[in-house]
Amino acid sequence: MGQESLIYSFVARGTVIVAEHTDFGGNFVEVALQCLQRLPATNTKFTYNTDGHTFNYLTHDGFTYCVVAVESVGRQLAMAFLERIKEDFTKRYGGGKATTAAAKSLNKEFGPKLKEHMQYCVEHPEEVSKLAKVKAQVSEVQEVMRANIDQVLDRQVKIDVLVGQTEDLRNQAGVFRRQGDQLRRKMWYQNMKIKLIVLSILIVFILIIVLSGKIAKNWVRGWKMNNVRHALAQWQISISAC
């Protein structure tokens, strides 16, 4: 693969190019900048094809990485190159002066690194492509694992919620049971109270009947004794008259 395979690369913060490198002349610099200004906000990876060249972009954490390559290079190698410079740039400047760097102010520091990465990718395309493929597979596995972990955590949260709801239901059942016991005791006391009142009324009624019977019996006995006394008195009077 010839040295002209990767012909231009840059790193930009927004639309401000902070570092770039090329060993060739041409209007691709202006075209790359125009494409940068028109990048869709929803894509992290994007490729334009024009005039036998590809303009490849990778956006990450506020920075955009670009490489212009001949079309025969293919998108896989171009994106592998962008991943390499992204990792290198982030390791060197992540959270540092790159966030406020002026236009092309990092050319002296990072321009040679861009050239170095371009040469390595051109000289070892198969190795770089295979490594990029392995990294992509690892990233895919990591995403799957992350999704599985999120599902497990989500299920754990749902289980915790279910356990909490079960505990609440158990507590409510305990409250209902205690209230039921209290209500049963209250009803039992009320029933006993009613039974005692009825029993008392029956006892009083029976006593009244018994006492009334005794009074009537005594009255009858007294009435009979009076009649006997009256008869005796009449008899004595009759005897005296004889």
Tell me the C-alpha distance between 187 and 182, whole Å: 9
Angle at CA 76, nearest 5°, toward 3 and 134?
A: 115
In this structure, the answer to whether residues 155 and 186 fall within a common structural domain is no
pLDDT mean across residues, the chain: 84
Using one digit for the tens of pLDDT, what is the confidence trace for 114-153? 999 999 999 987 787 666 556 556 656 676 777 787 777 7
Count of domains observed in the chain: 2
Given 146, 170, 194, the domain boundary residue is 170
In this structure, the answer to whether residues 19 and 136 fall within a common structural domain is yes
Using one digit for the tens of pLDDT, what is the confidence trace for 29-44? 999 999 999 998 777 9
Q: What's the confidence (pLDDT) of residue 87?
A: 95
Given 132, 148, 170, the domain boundary residue is 170
Angle at CA 90, nearest 5°, toward 88 and 94?
A: 145
* 219 in any annotated domain: yes
Average pLDDT over residues 183-193: 79
Residue with tokens 């205690």: 178
Q: H or E element: which one contains 180?
A: helix 125-241
Given 110, 138, 170, the domain boundary residue is 170
Tell me the C-alpha distance between 152 and 157, whole Å: 8
| Residue 229: domain span | 181-241
Q: What's the confidence (pLDDT) of residue 103?
A: 94
In this structure, the answer to whether residues 29 and 52 fall within a common structural domain is yes
Torsions phi, psi for 119 (to 5 deg) = -65, -45
| Model confidence, pTM | 0.57
pLDDT of 6 above 90: yes
